[in-house]
Structure 1
């Protein structure tokens, strides 16, 4: 049994305002459902960032100040299947840039698949996958003299509350050298009619994705959640710029988690907060960057102005 999972579920359900960590969405079923989410018409994020990588790869190369003759390492945090990144890799390869691709992920399975697909589709690209913690790998790379370019895409930073996003940026900053650059993908603030359907699609895939977390707790911790007694409900206002997902109890009920030897009471309408997705603009990102040495030096957006990839550079304070 995953002891961290057990501990985190206990902490979350025991809190005055119940929460479940979004990182636990991703078991085998959750992984498959998220692939479905990324391909559904309402989920604009993946397509919007892919638009930038496919149609503006020369602009990306220029914004990152890459030189064909200067060796650099292209490091991707949470690389996944690398679909977007391969557009950039191909452009760099076609123009004979001297680089190595270093994807980092906690999933060994994802890295093996990525290495295989890059070898097949882009046989000239040097790839050196690294499994583990982002910052441990970056700390090793920091010792080298050549430039490091870090990709952190998909608005993954938006899953962190602002306070933790600031901590992430400061740790990232500490593991880079002066002159190293970061390509940070973020979802832009936009109207409710665009954002909410991305988290509440017509086919109910996102609902199943959220409810699968309760199924996982039932299976792994011996709980008795009745999935029919919880509704998926996202909330978003353009003024705040933060989308939140909740599972809402439809009645007064008690859920027992056998492995914890505990029961948790839910009142009708009580929420479990499962996910946060922050949306950004220049002002919010500047606040997140705070007193770090990472400074915005460029910004590219997709054709519909839904998503942005910011280029940051570590500078002398």
Structure 2
């Protein structure tokens, strides 16, 4: 890897520190950057860039920004046949990098940006073959795996802008051997603000890419703030960017896709990876998806009852820390005068989920909570937990209902019961039977919902080397009766993606040809709903006893406190 010295043509600052440039530009930029750093939603950013698009080019010229020039030259240095190379300008803005790349002979350029207003200005430059409006924080489903020879990202990573995980999608769509070039303020990178530095190193550690060249520090805004510095990074994408899929997932896909049924069923657990966790957090913000609000209402109303004397809090399938925070805060208040430490143990199959939760809890509580995160499947991790102290295990959300059958649900609960001592408690969420119209609204809640359920097929494409057309699938969720199980009545929402036109797909990693007819479906999960009167019976079949139950005001959801059936009352 090379480290290069500052660019030979770097413009010299025409002002001393604290010397104002044209006051109108200076004041406008100050207001714009304050809005940019304070942005919390995409709508905030779209509004910002709609206003800024008109003066964006002039403002960057006024402050002397030239990062797009160095980044473009670095990209062309490491891209063979750059004239024909297919290059993505991600976070293109008004097209400054595109202009520089075109000057250097690049002809096949695609501009991507969140803002339609910025893209309109970029289109006026006349250098892009394609312009795409998309959010770098979400899956870039418009682009296929390995579609680009290179990508350039200028000014994309900063406070309030694109998240660090955007790099994962850029790596996905740049072919092995291609390069990714990006700029960043040095202080932003070194402080690991928004986790960008950690993500860069993680991708390197996981053999997704390797550094080729990193420039030395150079002035970021030479005509405004000569003390602000930036660098340009160039990484080459590796053949090993996609890790080998688990045998479990590969075999599940093979079994589903060779089924003669018109509905190819995959267990809902296979939908989960770090991208799914992010998409789910977006989905649960939909107003029609009642479950998070119902559960958090219960937690907020009954947190003092829910929290007991246990020193170990175990969360199964942690996902994010938003629910457990309420209970840990309550536990700390209740134990102000106790010396016994409180430990939180998040468990999830996703490394990204447990690390994110750990960081969130430590940032929120500091050293008041010890975090002992564990990555893996529950049946692998739970036997490793010491049983010398009492613990309370939480299984939030409707995840219990995602298990395919009630017989398997009982087996799962039995396996948890076997890892409990008679001093332990288990608190599990169960979604309740309700009016089907409420469920249709919840499970077909627009694009965020659809994007989450598409993640099953994304995983097949990305990890198993398939090329299913995601645009071919429409969502269809039905609320169906299931056969009673040992006297327990139950219904499930079956979460299906229905194929709208014929597809012939080859799944490379399992060497399988698949033909899907129009109307055939891939079922990406099930969500069972329980009758309140059946919950005690279900727990009895599992060797557990229901001690207490908490409901929200609408009786949509329940939290259920269980102990072993041989526990002393």
Task: Provide the TM-score with structure 2 as the length reference.
Answer: 0.51
CA distance in 2, matches of 1:267, 1:287: 42
* Aligned partner of 2:477 among 209, 220, 234: 234
- Aligned residue for 2:393? 150
Match of 2:311 in 1: 72
Q: What's the offset of the Cα at 1:254?
A: 3.1
| Aligned with residue 247 of structure 1, among 480, 497, 501 | 497
The answer as to whether partners of 1:248 and 1:272 remain within 8 angstroms in 2 is yes
| CA distance 1:298–1:274, shift in 2 (3 Å) | same
Give, in angstroms, the shift of residue 299 of structure 1: 0.3
- The equivalent of 1:261 in structure 2 is 511
Q: 1:123-272 alignment to 2 at 5 Å?
A: 123=366, 124-141=368-385, 143-144=387-388, 146-160=389-403, 161-201=405-445, 203-237=446-480, 240-272=490-522
Does the 8 A contact of 1:53 with 1:85 survive in 2?
Answer: no
**Larger Rg: 1 or 2?**
2
Distance 1:302 1:222, change over 3 A: same
**Deviation at 1:294?**
0.9
- Post-superposition Cα deviations, 1:193-247, rounded to whole Å, max 9, x if no partner, equal 111111101x322222223332332333332322333221111158842111111
* Structure-2 residue corresponding to 1:82: 321
The answer to whether 1:16 aligns with 2:255 is no
Distance 1:240 1:263, change over 3 A: same
CA contact (8 A) 2:393 2:425 kept: yes
Work out the CA distance in 2 between the residues paired with 1:44 and 1:101.
27
Q: Does 2:359 match 1:116?
A: yes
Deviations 1:63-94 (A, max 9, x none): xxx24xxx532211112222111101101101
> Structure 1 residues 187 and 302 mapped into 2: Cα distance closer, same or farther (>3 Å)?
same
**Greater shift after overlay, 245-254 or 157-166?**
245-254
Question: Contact (CA 8 Å) 1:13, 1:20: kept in 2 or not?
Answer: no
Tell whether the 8 Å contact from 2:490 to 2:531 is kept in structure 1 after alignment. no
Secondary structure class of the residue paired with 1:83: coil
Offset at residue 293 of structure 1 (A): 2.7
8 A Cα contact 1:192 1:237, kept in partner: no
Greater shift, 246-255 or 190-199, is seen at 246-255
Structure 1 residues 251, 131: closer, same or farther in 2, change over 3 A?
A: closer
Q: Following the alignment from structure 1 to structure 2, what is the Cα–Cα distance between the partners of residues 106 and 214?
A: 19
Moved more, 21-30 or 33-42: 21-30
- Which residue does 1:295 correspond to in 2? 545
Relative distance call for 1:137 and 1:257 in structure 2 (3 A) is closer
Distance 1:10 1:159 in 2: 21
Q: Can you give the 5+ residue segments of structure 2 that lack an aligned partner in the other structure?
A: 1-243, 482-488
Deviations, residues 6-33 of structure 1 (Å, cap 9, x unaligned): 2221111112331233223234433322
Give the structure 1 partner of residue 286 of structure 2. 40
Task: State the alpha-carbon separation in 2 of the partners of residues 104 and 180 from structure 1.
Answer: 17
- CA displacement at 1:58 relative to structure 2: 1.5
Aligned equivalent of 1:106? 349
How many residue pairs are counted as aligned between the two chains?
308
CA contact (8 A) 1:178 1:316 kept: yes
Are residues 1:29 and 2:279 paired? no
Equivalent residues of 2:410, 2:541 under 8 A apart: no
In structure 2, how many angstroms separate the alpha carbons of the residues matched to 1:300 and 1:260? 46
Structure 1 residues 100, 28: CA separation in 2 closer, same or farther (over 3 Å shift)?
Answer: closer
What's the CA shift for 1:252?
Answer: 4.1
Query: C-alpha displacement at 1:142, in angstroms?
Result: 5.3
- Most deviating of 47-56 and 85-94: 47-56
Q: Flag the 1:272–1:196 CA change in 2: closer, same or farther, 3 A.
A: same
SS in 1 for 2:323: helix
Q: More relative contact order in 1 or in 2 (CA 8 Å, sep 6+)?
A: 1
Shift of the 304–12 alpha-carbon distance from structure 1 to 2, 3 Å rule, reads same
Q: Secondary structure at the match of 1:171?
A: helix
Q: Go from structure 1 to structure 2 and tell me whether the alpha carbon gap of 1:138 and 1:223 turns closer, same or farther (over 3 Å shift).
A: closer
Distance 1:30 1:125 in 2: 27
